[in-house]
């Protein structure tokens, strides 16, 4: 049973075909055993749902690709991309990784819109920020960590 309605799929397909420039890879860190075998402490009830949503999104454009990484089996890769819990996904645009942009958890409701906006912005290589904001943000010269807490709506 698809998560996206046929109408949403058609709208997104049209928007992607019109707007996507660079190829985008979404890398999902998950637990492949989730749902089949429950290892105590490694439960990830929403992992399969996140994967389904992302599979449906990437199926809507040849410029989108999903890469699935097992957080426990490929722990080194998770460490390298600074993923500390799952489900988590991050992006690359034309093979340039954007490890500093991550989602933790299921992107539904308003966050689904954020996901689509992220894909479009990364693919065109420019954020939605106005030029004045872009200029000052680029001048921040220290590490900053932002955590945005959301809930499904």
Q: Which residues here bind another protein, judged by CB under 8 A?
A: 46, 82, 85, 87, 98, 100-107, 111, 114, 117-118, 121-122, 127-152
Q: Which two tokens stand for residue 57?
A: 């999104």
Question: 113 φ, ψ to 5°?
Answer: -60, -40
Residue number, 7 or 130, with CB nearest to another protein: 130
Instruction: Output the smallest distance, CB 41 to another protein, in A.
Output: 13
Q: Which two tokens stand for residue 119?
A: 């894909």
**Helix, strand or coil, per DSSP, at residue 93:** strand
Residue number, 60 or 107, with CB nearest to another protein: 107
Instruction: Output the smallest distance, CB 135 to another protein, in A.
Output: 6
Question: H or E segment at 58?
Answer: helix 47-58
Residue number, 76 or 149, with CB nearest to another protein: 149
Instruction: Output the smallest distance, CB 6 to another protein, in A.
Output: 26
Name the nearest CA neighbour of 69 among 110, 99, 40: 99
């Amino acid at each position: 049973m698809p998560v996206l309605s046929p109408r949403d799929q058609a709208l997104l397909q049209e928007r992607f075909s019109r707007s996507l420039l660079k190829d985008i890879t979404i890398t999902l860190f998950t637990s492949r055993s989730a749902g089949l075998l429950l290892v105590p402490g490694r439960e990830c009830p929403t992992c399969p749902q996140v994967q389904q949503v992302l599979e449906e999104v990437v199926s809507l454009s040849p410029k989108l690709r999903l890469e699935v990484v097992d957080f426990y089996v490929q722990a080194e890769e998770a460490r390298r991309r600074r993923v500390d819990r799952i489900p988590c996904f991050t992006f690359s645009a034309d093979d340039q990784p954007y490890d500093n942009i991550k989602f933790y958890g299921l992107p539904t409701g308003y966050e689904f819109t954020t996901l689509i906006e992220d894909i479009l912005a990364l693919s065109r290589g420019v954020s939605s920020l106005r030029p004045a904001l872009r200029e000052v943000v680029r001048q921040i010269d220290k590490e900053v960590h932002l955590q945005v807490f959301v809930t499904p709506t």
